[in-house]
A and B are shown apart, each in its own frame.
Chain A
Amino acid sequence: MTIEISSENKSKELAVVTISGRMNAATTPEIKERMKTILDSGHMKIVMNLSGTTFIDSSGLSVIVTGLKQTREAGGFLRLAGLQPEVQSIFKLTMLDRVFEMYPDVESALKS
């Protein structure tokens, strides 16, 4: 398995996107495509569940930052939930942990 993406619409505007597997240069085109579909359907508030993401590289991070720009410009948000320590360390390396508020799980991201 390289990547598995699923999304659950919580409301007209809010969706939870779960990404499992490896987020790297090979899998990001698929993630990008899926994000585009979700945004085009009017969901500009997105909680990204990364609890099943085992690896992320700079290409994966770029997709997340692009997603942040797109959701924010549409008046929404992009929240990250359930990051595994390995993935979190890559966020630290690129200092992206300074940008995002990391939520331990989807529930807390939805509540906030």
Chain B
Amino acid sequence: MGNKSKKATNDSDQDVVEKKFKRKVIIFRLLSIINIGLGLNYISWRYTHSLNMNALWFAIPLVVAETYSVIDMLLFTFMMWKPTRRTSLKPFDCSVDIYITTYNEPLHIVKMTAEAARRIHWKEKRIFILDDGNRKEISDLAKQTGCGYITRGAEWVGKQRYAKAGNINNALMQTNGDFILVLDADQIPSPQIIERCIGYFSDDQVAFVQSPQYFYNTPPGDPFGSDAPLFYGPILQGKDGWNSTFFCGSNGFLRREALLQLGLTDYVKNTEKQLRQGLNRLEKDIRKTTNLGNNDKAALAQFHKKINEARASLDAGQSFEKVAEMVHIAFREIQNTVNLNDIDSIIKDLSALDTLGDQKAGEIKEKIASQKMEISREIGKETGAQGASGEALQDFSLTRASEAQPILPMATFSITEDMATSMRLHAMGWKSVFHPEVLAYGLAPEDLGTALRQRLRWAQGTIQVLAFENPFLKKGLTFPQRLEYFTTIYSYFNGFFNLIFLLAPIVYLLTGIPPVSSWSTSFLWHLIPYLVVNKIVFRYLAQGIPVYRNDQYNLALFPVWIQAIISVYFKQKLTFHVTAKERQNIIFVKEVWPQIAIVILTLISFAFGIHTYLTGTMIPLPGLLVNIFWGCYNILMLSGIITAAFYQPPSDWHASPPEFSV
């Protein structure tokens, strides 16, 4: 077949796929409209017709949890409304730096990635191993494989290191490729990864391109729920439709210019913030200073005036350098005036002694009086050297003195730096791309403990974004972008509501008190169609993607999500745990005690409920059946994580690294 006819066949294949995709979107929208109608009908009926007014302590938490779920469904529908289906664009000449980030991963893992990176097809590429562990064997590996080796320099000693974000920021100042491909130490890239993704940057508004993260070591059945094909597929395609896909830390490309611009504007904003804080602090100190002599009071008033002038200059758009200089001069002046006043008072005392006949005092007085200015200057120098002025003026240094680097392009306020950085880039007007093709495979956690710690870090980082840079308040984001970032954050709040869903059947079966006014057919007629259509929509969207494990973990991880929120809002110190790449051979019962407790309580409540039904009238048959069904569903959903705690991989199973065709 000639080239032309081959191209024509490819084009027509593409057309078929495109048509299929469009049809899928239209069907999804139609199903979603029905789903929204049923959901809103159900929740409004719950509020207006079915609350058990005699047990509001129970009825209200349940209806609030249901409301949360309906809002979740609305946000999800919005997210999926206009997904993208990207195909690679033509590559263009440019230089790409490949960063392999590592901290404590074993040598053989880093080696596989470095060797795979060398096989990537691209002329102008430079590979750097960013070793935050500063290990000799990794430095030797870099030499052997012809990669650059970057580790933190002396400027980081005694300064905040910011884990992976700091590692990348450090490297950014030492390399100069047009684009950066970030690979976690375990992510083995395909040789085509650059060719397939770089073309998107021909739109010079695109700041980053993300490709999926898949794993080659997921044991059969994915017991720890590591695979995320729904996220690295339909969900990011949905977000991409609203230009709000986010950088996921690995297997993504970043435009150097965009990152540095972000770092620079962040530096300016932070410096201004620090200047304003400094001015406020000085003003507060002035107000607190009392018990002064009249002369010093006048000097302080003058200093206060100068501080206000500096603030007015800052408001008027004067350069920070000039404002800082104004404060430095004012500070030197007040120091000098106070010193001179002190010297005058000493001279006065010496004069008094002189009058009383102390000749020596008279001589000293003359000497001091003749050298007043010099002495004052010396005292000023001395106090400066002791740090008094240094401390007072530290906010006016313009150097971000507490940081190792003035420019920190990767956001450092959240332990999920990737999402925070994406949001800042979007707020600056940059675009993003999700390329759905799998171009690298890495290692997922191999035991439940590690998997849970990883989920906790993601959740904590995401909640930090809400706590410190609320997307609804962030300037520059479009409304859909705000909503998209909020949707991600919102999903991590489901821990509290899932706990209510897990406890509700237990409470009913143990007490006989229903959260609804009755378990009537009307109740089932409102609920069941909504639940069924909701499931259909989700399954339709996930066509061909296994979602059962995802459903299980979504409900079962409630303690992790609750812990994440509590730790952020109660300011517990959060640390970036590097995800262990090797299996810890222990059983993780301690990690799943809340889930085990819920299962045991549910089983007890079944027995109690059946007994109550058989021996009295407190629990009617519909109530018993609905709640036993509900409880069984909960047990089924929790069973995944509980069995994962005891999981041992089959003895004949082992992970095989991917083999890409060259």
Residues of A within 8 A of B (CB): 25-26, 28-29, 57-59, 61-62, 65-66, 68-69, 72-73, 93-102
Closest 6 CB pairs of A and B: A58-B260, A25-B176, A95-B268, A94-B264, A69-B399, A101-B321
B319 touches A62 (CB 8 A): no
8 contacts between A and B (CB under 8 A): A29-B176, A58-B259, A62-B407, A66-B407, A68-B398, A94-B265, A96-B264, A100-B321
Question: Given the complex of chains A and B, what is the CA–CA distance between A22 and B406 in angstroms?
Answer: 23
Contacts of B265 in A (CB 8 A): 94-95
Contacts of B322 in A (CB 8 A): 101
Contacts of B229 in A (CB 8 A): none
1/0 per residue B255-298: CB within 8 Å of A?
01101110111011101100000000000000000000000000
B172 to chain A, nearest CB (A): 8
1/0 per residue B390-431: CB within 8 Å of A?
000000011111000111000000000000000000000000
Given A72-B397, A98-B319, A99-B398, A62 and B263 touching (CB < 8 A)?
A: yes
Question: Given the complex of chains A and B, what is the CA–CA distance between A101 and B183 in angstroms?
Answer: 40
Residue of B at shortest CB range from A91? B264
B643 to chain A, nearest CB (A): 51
Residue of B at shortest CB range from A25? B176
Q: Is B173 an interface residue (CB 8 A)?
A: yes
Contacts of A72 in B (CB 8 A): 397-399
Q: Is B486 an interface residue (CB 8 A)?
A: no
A98 touches B407 (CB 8 A): no
Question: Given the complex of chains A and B, what is the CA–CA distance between A26 and B271 in angstroms?
Answer: 28
Task: Give the contacting residue for A99; candidates B177, B256, B320, B401; CB below 8 A.
Answer: B320
Contacts of B264 in A (CB 8 A): 58, 61-62, 65, 94-96
Contacts of A29 in B (CB 8 A): 176
A26 to chain B, nearest CB (A): 6
Contacts of B257 in A (CB 8 A): 57-59
Q: How many A-B pairs fall under 8 Å by CB?
A: 78
Contacts of B405 in A (CB 8 A): 66
Task: Give the contacting residue for A61; candidates B176, B259, B260; CB below 8 A.
Answer: B260
A68 touches B268 (CB 8 A): no
Kindly list 16 other residue pairs between chains A and B, CB separation below 8 angstroms, not including A94-B264, A100-B321: A26-B176, A29-B176, A57-B260, A58-B259, A59-B176, A62-B264, A65-B407, A66-B173, A96-B264, A96-B268, A99-B267, A99-B271, A99-B320, A99-B398, A101-B322, A102-B319
Residue of A at shortest CB range from B257? A58
Question: Given the complex of chains A and B, what is the CA–CA distance between A62 and B268 in angstroms?
Answer: 12
Q: Is B317 an interface residue (CB 8 A)?
A: yes
Contacts of B261 in A (CB 8 A): 58, 93-94
A71 to chain B, nearest CB (A): 9
Contacts of A26 in B (CB 8 A): 176
Task: Give the contacting residue for A65; candidates B269, B317, B406; CB below 8 A.
Answer: B406
Residue of A at shortest CB range from B314? A98
- Mark out the residues of chain B between 246 and 260 whose CB falls within 8 Å of any chain A CB in the assembled complex: 256-257, 259-260
Task: Give the contacting residue for A97; candidates B260, B319, B398, B399; CB below 8 A.
Answer: B319
Question: Given the complex of chains A and B, what is the CA–CA distance between A98 and B317 in angstroms?
Answer: 7
Contacts of B319 in A (CB 8 A): 97-102
B148 to chain A, nearest CB (A): 13
Residue of A at shortest CB range from B176? A25
Task: Give the contacting residue for B268; candidates A66, A98, A101; CB below 8 A.
Answer: A98
Residue of A at shortest CB range from B262? A58
Q: Is B178 an interface residue (CB 8 A)?
A: yes
Question: Given the complex of chains A and B, what is the CA–CA distance between A104 and B261 in angstroms?
Answer: 25
Task: Give the contacting residue for B406; candidates A25, A28, A69; CB below 8 A.
Answer: A69
